[in-house]
Structure 1
Amino acid sequence: MGYQSEAALERDVMNQLEAIGYERALIHTEDQLKENFRNLLNERHTKLKEEPLSDKEFSRLMTQINNKSVFDSAKILRDKFVLKRDDETEVYLELFDQKNFSNNIFQVTNQVSVNDEFSGRYDVTILLNGLPVVQIELKRRDVSIHEAFDQVGRYQDHNLRGLFRYVQMFIVSNYNDTRYFANSDKAFLRGLMFYWTDEENNLIVNLDDFMQSFLITGHLAKMISRYMIINESERKLMVMRPYQIYATEALIERALTTDGNGYVWHTTGSGKTLTSFKASQLLSYEPEISKVIFLVDRKDLDAQTQEEFNKFEHESVDETNSTKQLISQLEDKSRPMIITTIQKMSNAISKHQHVMEQYRKDKVIFVIDECHRSQFGDMHMKIKKHFERAQYFGFTGTPRFEENRSQDGRSTADIFDKCLHSYLVKDAIRDGNVLGFSIEYINTFKDRIREQSGEYVAGINTDEVWLADERIEKVARHIHGIHNNKTHNRAYVALMATQSIEMAMKYYRMFKAINAEPGVRPLKVATIFTYQPNQDRKDGDVKVHAKNELQSVIEDYNEIYGQNFSLDTYNAYFQDVSSRMKGNKAKEKIDILIVVDMFLTGFDSRMLNTLYVDKHLKHHNLIQAYSRTNRVDKGKKVFGNIVVYRNLKKETDEALRIFSDTENTDVVLSKSYEEYRKRFAGYLEKLQQISSTPASAKRLEDEEDIKEFILTFRGLARTLARLKTFEAFEFTEETVGMDEQEYKDYEGIYKGVYYEHIKREREGQKVSILDEIDFDIEVVRNDRVNVNYIRRLIENIELKDKKQQAEEKRQIKLLLEQTDDQQLRNKAELIREFLDKVVPHLEKNDKVREIYLNFEEERKLEEINRFSEEMNYPKSKLQKLISEYEFSGHLYNDDIEAGISAPFLERIEKLDKVRSFIESLSDKYGFVE
């Protein structure tokens, strides 16, 4: 096959869509789009067929439905609404038949133009009953799919208006890479571009295959009607991932065509809440099902879970401890779906049999979240006695198998029969939905004990060894030493899992003692656990209640964070701890939260990246605990860090084998330090073959050589990022084959090529062979010395002691010279000026942060004024362009030229200078989180 242009690819797409059932429409303008919509509206409604809409009626209709937000348009598309006719009668209209897909009309057109100041023109548009619902953006095979994504972003900024607000999703493709994502009123996120797959989770990326699977008219209608979610709380449109859809369909088919049960095995972090809720919601619409009862464990029903459910159905969760509302909901047969806790349902079955009696012979569906919990197993027989036709469907990331059966001997399949769909941790890592794990095992015993089996070590007398003060101190000091490295200088937070409240408190007190030592940068450490009146432990000869321990912890917490919690407000304390561990921007983070069992299951936080383990874990408990760390974050998180102070290698390998459904745990685990060192050596050898020295890299001219240099250095840098997380790492020639200075010299060449690529991209120039490379500058940036780091140093600079101030200024300037953070380099001169000209005149109580930000703003305005005068370019126009560029990242020549009045050649020169000024100004003064 020869070279295929975008135009040829577009023709092929149009032909294929026509072949699978789409009617080709000749629509190329907004007026034609409206007229086609009007004709189909008249054709689809019997009353309108007899008496078509008048011009005035159609105008009123368009006022009702046209040019709304994406969110509101999505709701209108799915609703029936009333139109008042000229004779004052009313007619009910439906834009989309969500039950009988064959009653809808599917069309396809291409090259629709929008006549606004940016003159947008769309590649391929799919119409549903005359409304544009899917936009397909195509690029050549040699162009990155991200360019198609960026093009859609530009459409969103400037063109998607009128009836195009009804677009539900976008499809972007360069033929060999195809993805889909939901439309939005907010900025699009690359992480929400999804691959389509088959039922076995095999990717479908080829555009031909994608169209044959995803764009069949019936399937597309089902995607829009069933598998898109209108998120009320965030006012946004969401689309489900393929594995969520296949699981939902399998569950519904099992419920409607059999009397059997089933469970869905989707790995922790893959979005089970959404899947289980959508399946429950769709089942509740079925007339033959009397009630759908969604059960969640009480200890999982925290604020996060309630928020998730309420996104999909407002006030759907009963937060009270009383069963009164549950009984009321059960008595009301008009309410098809209930969300409640396992504990409340158990109580209702035991004490309110008269209410349950009405459901004895009805078809009732129980959907159980985290069904590996033993609580549901205990309740299973109770339900079976009351509901003769009940069916049970469970969702879990860690099922019970033969190896990890529950205490009563049952596996998940014993209760739920058949696994309806699986999406395992290896699948989620491949798709980028979760991260892998980096696991380190730290020995805390002498050799004689270290060599023993895991079972032996697990059985060692707790009081003699595990809780020995010497060992506790050794582990705590080790954690103190590695914590900054593991959490990217405390950008992320960590959990510490301990075997008991007694151990948790020993660690808590040890960390407090270390924090109090001179010269130590204190860690913010908290702990939380449940307590009972009889939950005592021995402390010497005195029994100390866990309640008293928790009270003292809460008092410390109040002092650190300025709160006023007590045991009486334990739930509020729990929610505050949870919020800080999730990185709530309004609250100061906790560095390490010490727990026994709490937070080790069901707790989701992108800001949690490290787990310290000092307890025996196995099977589902181990995977659940490890999985707290591997939520994807757009920052510097490359995997979940697990540091284990027990001999759990065997248990870890076994758990990963069971829950990955494979003998190969390499898919899930990070490599060892030695393996990464060997990988680094391999990249280094290849790099030096391409360019023996950094200086010779500057002389590379052949584009193939430059491409190989980029790809090789990027691999070297990514491997280095992983090496840096290991305690044994030292950046020396003896350790890794090169010293840090040589690395930085190569890095400078890489950055030069990268920024040249960005410059050409911004100017619309082709980057030839380098265009196919997905550059990644972040992997080579310094993890610690960045703009925020320097700002914090400046904010805390000594204002009274001039001698100390001078030393602190010297240290900051040294860091500015050494940094490889490009944004910081851009600000370096500005910061030096502030240190030399402003800081010496500050008083003790001055607000340094505010003064510095004002200083930046003044310098920025000075530069704008100076450039405006020198270039004779309108200041107001220049400021508007800067604001738009800082907000969207886009800068268009037409916008710039609007402020230039000069002959052609001079205008081109001025345009380039204005563009360059705006880009460099934004790089220098750009907002930093």
Structure 2
Amino acid sequence: MSIQSEAALEAGLIATLRQMDYEYVQITEEDNLYANFKRQLEIHNKKQLAEVGRNSFTDEEFEKILIYLEGGTRFEKAKKLRDLYPLDTANGQRIWVEFLNRTQWCQNEFQVSSQITVEGRKKCRYDVTILINGLPLVQIELKRRGVELKQAYNQIQRYHKTSFHGLFDYIQLFVISNGVNTRYFANNPNGGYKFTFNWTDAANLPFNELDKFAVFFLEKCTLGKIIGKYIVLHEGDKCLMVLRPYQFYAVEKILDRVQNSNDNGYIWHTTGAGKTLTSFKTAQLVSELDDVDKVMFVVDRHDLDTQTQSEYEAFEPGAVDGTDNTDELVKRLHSNSKIIITTIQKLNAAVSKTWYSSKIDSIRHSRIVMIFDECHRSHFGESHKKIMQFFDNAQIFGFTGTPIFTENAVDGHTTKEVFGNCLHRYLIKDAIADENVLGFLVEYYHGSEEVQNGSTNRMTEIAQFILNNFNKSTFDGEFDALFAVQSVPMLIRYYKIFKELNPKIRIGAVFTYAANGSQDDELTGMGTGSYLNDSAGEVDELQAIMDDYNEMFGTSFTTENFRAYYDDINLRMKKKRADMKPLDLCLVVGMFLTGFDSKKLNTLYVDKNMEYHGLLQAFSRTNRVLNEKKRFGKIVCFRDLKSNVDAAIKLFSNSNNPEEIVRPPFEEIKQEYKELASDFLKKYPDTNCIDLLQSETAKKEFVLAFRDIIRKHAEIQIYEDYSEEADDLGMTEQQFMDFRSKYLDIHDTFALVDPAPSSKPDDNTDTSDDGDLGDVDFCLELLHSDVINVAYILELIAELDPYSADYAERRQNIIDTMIKDAEMRSKAKLIDGFIQKNVDDDKENFMMQRGKVDGTSDLEERLNRYIAVERENAVNSLAEEEDISSSVLNHFLKEYDYLQKEQPEIIQKALKEKHLGLIKTRKALARILDRLRNIIRTFSWD
């Protein structure tokens, strides 16, 4: 039986949608699109038009609407879609035009169209478009069965660069499918393929097949609800986000309970699955209910760090009660704000102290909905009881990744006892299966049997082990690590040992600062041993650690501004800011083991007794999804915690199969790698075989085969037992690097030629070529190190000594380092020329500048000038070869630098003026665009 074509898949989808009462509309080009939009908008606004005695917009009025819709960024347009537009008519009347009915989401006009043609670099035909009230809000990209789904994703990314404009900037959702796998994602070009999602039922069973997905997700009322209620406009990043299915079902459960009962409840969503977004969307939608007076989002004060506050502000600007002043909370409770974000500590003070409670007595019986973040902490003590006794008409809901059950209860209280029944579950095994969080690689270090636990010798051995293996675990510092230890005294001892070992990595430490142990353990949730003890001289020890930190990063923290120190460590561990040197390893006791969320953290070292929720919470600091390179969270235990790990996984995954959560042992992965390598080398015994490959199909077969090797290589090298020198892996490290070079050569030849989204033939038949390499995902992130950037290369150049005996070797190492890196190799020739001019040909001046304090910054300035000159030379050379004005080429490059989007019409217009004829113009356009893309790749430096 022949494989179902893309055209057949498209026809089947459209037939399904028509059966679901979508109107099919034939739209061939943008003019038809605007005409249809006018008709649909008039239908949707017929009541408003009827109020002024009409049933249509005049051409002038519609032009006003289009002008209004045209302005602004994609994010601003998403806001316009949800707002009413005050249209002033010619006779002085006003019509409030609605583009989307968000409250009665079924009452929108739904249409489906296919093969809408948009003029871009070529005429692009989009597969299937869903229009709501005439606006293209959902775009569906299809590939035939058997084609990698990521090809459809990559196609959409090219559309972003080359053709989406006008009304297509209003797309809210994308759907990609190859028939058997279907995913959806928000219109956020920078999200990445990792942030595309399956749709599921409430029990987390996925609808992968396109027909099932269409029936459940694209059902008109469901789709209308998702676009109207469940797309989030993230103010911080100015981007669109869409809830995943488990988030959708959780919010729906709480809304149903608020509207139809006074019962409480809790949501069990595994750590790392996006509870903050879910709970905020819950708060937002609950606050819109007429009979709810206030919604309070309550967190532990230790979770409300600077980064967390900024995230909360991104969802609900102005809602965070971030001060330490309880008076501010009292004011907010009396204000018109329906959503308040505060801490349980402040809320406890407000209801416990008469000075405050008397001021809020008038609202104690109001209908208040309280949402508690991480409800397993800080909510089982007296403070929680006081809050609930005071607000006697409150309805409470909790969110947790690790509920308290009888098995892991410390004082006998359980989550169900405090919050009621579980309303929705999304467990860690579900999240790993969906690739929403990563699994764990748990390894146990035993060390020397002669070294006793707790001894200085043992601690020194462990510290040396961490330093020796740090680069392996973190991909040469691309990621970072936490080291959790048992107590503050132990942390101080470890810190001094690390310092004595003179580490090359940046090491810091943080632990709770509470002079004389004055913090309330019930409210901090930190427990004994995690705060300072003045009598033991620990304040001075902390200050000494902070002094080292200040010297390392040029800061000036003291114990008096400890919170600022904590926030600074938080930022450096997250590696989000290019202007901040990162912290590589942070020693902790209790802090950062709960609540801390960083995609750049991939390793946790443990010399601490942990169990149940504390253990899984700590492990889960490492398992945030980032990219292909980060395949799991790595845990290295220096204590025998295996039985505790197994018990925690069994409890919180509701499964007796730990293999769903924890990665297999090294020997198993080693055998998998060996089998892959053996099969590969049977087909490609040496790299000469790759040079003989002629057809694109043959090259694609090699790429796909070696890509499997690359992925398994990235996985196995994180294991502590892995060694590059091992001779029993089926492929030596040298063989891997040689084939890697051939792999990147093919990538440079094919994948970097950014193909224009091609016009589909008029008969709409599928013409995809099995040998096409243009859409293959080369997984380049696995072959690129964030460490190898312009700053790193400049450091290597600055260390060169052209008069030394090993200069030629060190110079070549710089070039080889760049060539081996997937993203830097295109710049290797440029750097080689820079070194030639500024070091080889100018030795004395280079050595003189090298000795200055600001030598590296001077080198950077010279590199920037060199790049500018070389880029200008490349542009002028292209202009001369193609007989086109360099000003035209620079205009194209300037627009690309600004918009990060190609505008081929700039080149096309200049070529048309030369009257070359259609075929020659097309060929010249293709050549010039290809050269311009190469200029962009070579001369663009982050």
Counterpart of 2:178 in structure 1 is: 174
Which of 584, 591, 595 matches 1:591? 584
- Could you tell me which amino acid in structure 2 is paired with residue 433 of structure 1? N
Structure 2: which 5+ residue stretches go unaligned? 519-527, 759-766
**Alignment of 1:626 onto 2:619:** yes
Distance 1:699 1:903, change over 3 A: same
Listed as ranges, the matches of 1:362-381 within 5 Å are: 362-381=366-385
Which of 518, 537, 552 matches 2:544? 552
**Alignment of 1:493 onto 2:477:** no
Distance 1:276 1:779, change over 3 A: closer
Counterpart of 1:737 in structure 2 is: 730
2:582 and 2:787 map into 1 onto residues whose CA distance is 20
CA offsets 1:629-685 (integer angstroms, 9 cap, x no match): 122223732222212111111111221222222122222222222222111111122
Counterpart of 2:346 in structure 1 is: 344
**Alignment of 1:446 onto 2:449:** yes
2:65 and 2:686 map into 1 onto residues whose CA distance is 70
| Count of residue pairs the alignment pairs up | 898
Counterpart of 1:529 in structure 2 is: 512
Listed as ranges, the matches of 1:328-727 within 5 Å are: 328-332=331-335, 334-352=336-354, 353-354=357-358, 357-358=361-362, 362-405=366-409, 407-444=410-447, 446=449, 466-515=453-502, 521=504, 523-533=506-516, 544-583=536-575, 584-634=577-627, 636-696=629-689, 698-699=691-692, 709-727=702-720
Listed as ranges, the matches of 1:834-913 within 5 Å are: 834-839=834-839, 840=843, 841-842=845-846, 843-844=848-849, 845=852, 846=855, 847-881=858-892, 888=900, 895=907, 898-899=910-911, 913=927
- Could you tell me which amino acid in structure 2 is paired with residue 342 of structure 1? I
Contact 2:44 2:108 in 1 (8 A): no
- Could you tell me which amino acid in structure 2 is paired with residue 566 of structure 1? T
Contact 1:96 1:104 in 2 (8 A): yes
1:257 and 1:251 map into 2 onto residues whose CA distance is 10
Contact 1:135 1:171 in 2 (8 A): yes
Which of 196, 200, 218 matches 1:193? 196
- How far is the alpha carbon of 1:26 from its aligned partner? 4.5
Distance 1:703 1:123, change over 3 A: closer
CA offsets 1:362-392 (integer angstroms, 9 cap, x no match): 5432211000104444434324433444322
1:70 and 1:785 map into 2 onto residues whose CA distance is 32
2:631 and 2:485 map into 1 onto residues whose CA distance is 25
Distance 1:346 1:817, change over 3 A: closer
Contact 2:896 2:903 in 1 (8 A): yes
- How far is the alpha carbon of 1:114 from its aligned partner? 4.4
- Could you tell me which amino acid in structure 1 is paired with residue 512 of structure 2? F
Distance 1:835 1:126, change over 3 A: closer
Contact 1:153 1:188 in 2 (8 A): no
SS at match of 2:629: coil
SS at match of 1:587: coil
Which of 104, 108, 116 matches 2:108? 104
SS at match of 2:433: helix
SS at match of 1:12: helix
2:121 and 2:809 map into 1 onto residues whose CA distance is 52
SS at match of 1:689: helix
Distance 1:767 1:213, change over 3 A: same
Distance 1:256 1:855, change over 3 A: same
Which deviates the most, 395-404 or 892-901? 892-901
CA offsets 1:720-740 (integer angstroms, 9 cap, x no match): 223322343333463323333
Distance 1:708 1:514, change over 3 A: same
CA offsets 1:447-480 (integer angstroms, 9 cap, x no match): 7x9xxxxxxxxxxxxxxx5542222221111111
SS at match of 2:751: helix
Counterpart of 1:309 in structure 2 is: 312
SS at match of 1:677: helix
Counterpart of 2:39 in structure 1 is: 36
2:52 and 2:179 map into 1 onto residues whose CA distance is 41
- How far is the alpha carbon of 1:510 from its aligned partner? 1.4
Counterpart of 2:831 in structure 1 is: 831
Counterpart of 1:768 in structure 2 is: 770
- How far is the alpha carbon of 1:882 from its aligned partner? 5.3
CA offsets 1:100-157 (integer angstroms, 9 cap, x no match): 3343332333344446785554433323233332223333335443343344334444
- How far is the alpha carbon of 1:897 from its aligned partner? 8.8
1:768 and 1:534 map into 2 onto residues whose CA distance is 68
- How far is the alpha carbon of 1:341 from its aligned partner? 1.0
1:703 and 1:116 map into 2 onto residues whose CA distance is 27
Listed as ranges, the matches of 1:128-277 within 5 Å are: 128-184=132-188, 187=190, 189-277=192-280
1:106 and 1:756 map into 2 onto residues whose CA distance is 44
SS at match of 1:634: coil
Distance 1:2 1:695, change over 3 A: closer
SS at match of 1:852: helix
SS at match of 2:141: strand
- How far is the alpha carbon of 1:276 from its aligned partner? 0.6
Distance 1:93 1:570, change over 3 A: same
Counterpart of 1:71 in structure 2 is: 75
Counterpart of 1:123 in structure 2 is: 127
CA offsets 1:581-614 (integer angstroms, 9 cap, x no match): 1112221111211111111110111222221111
2:688 and 2:396 map into 1 onto residues whose CA distance is 67
Which deviates the most, 767-776 or 808-817? 767-776
- Could you tell me which amino acid in structure 2 is paired with residue 181 of structure 1? F
- How far is the alpha carbon of 1:61 from its aligned partner? 4.0
> Percent identity among equivalent residues?
34
2:160 and 2:709 map into 1 onto residues whose CA distance is 37
Contact 2:41 2:133 in 1 (8 A): no
1:384 and 1:322 map into 2 onto residues whose CA distance is 21
Contact 1:268 1:624 in 2 (8 A): yes
CA offsets 1:489-542 (integer angstroms, 9 cap, x no match): 222222111111111111111122111xxxx635443434323225899xxxx9
Which deviates the most, 879-888 or 231-240? 879-888
- Could you tell me which amino acid in structure 2 is paired with residue 347 of structure 1? A
Which deviates the most, 676-685 or 144-153? 144-153
SS at match of 1:50: coil
- How far is the alpha carbon of 1:751 from its aligned partner? 3.9
Distance 1:747 1:75, change over 3 A: closer
2:104 and 2:556 map into 1 onto residues whose CA distance is 57
SS at match of 1:320: coil
- How far is the alpha carbon of 1:299 from its aligned partner? 0.8
Counterpart of 2:54 in structure 1 is: 51
Contact 2:574 2:600 in 1 (8 A): yes
TM-score (norm 2): 0.87
- Could you tell me which amino acid in structure 1 is paired with residue 368 of structure 2? V
SS at match of 1:196: coil
Contact 1:428 1:434 in 2 (8 A): yes
Bigger RCO (CA 8 Å, 6+ sep): 2
Distance 1:646 1:792, change over 3 A: farther
1:224 and 1:260 map into 2 onto residues whose CA distance is 29
Counterpart of 1:927 in structure 2 is: 940
Contact 1:30 1:113 in 2 (8 A): no
Distance 1:784 1:681, change over 3 A: farther
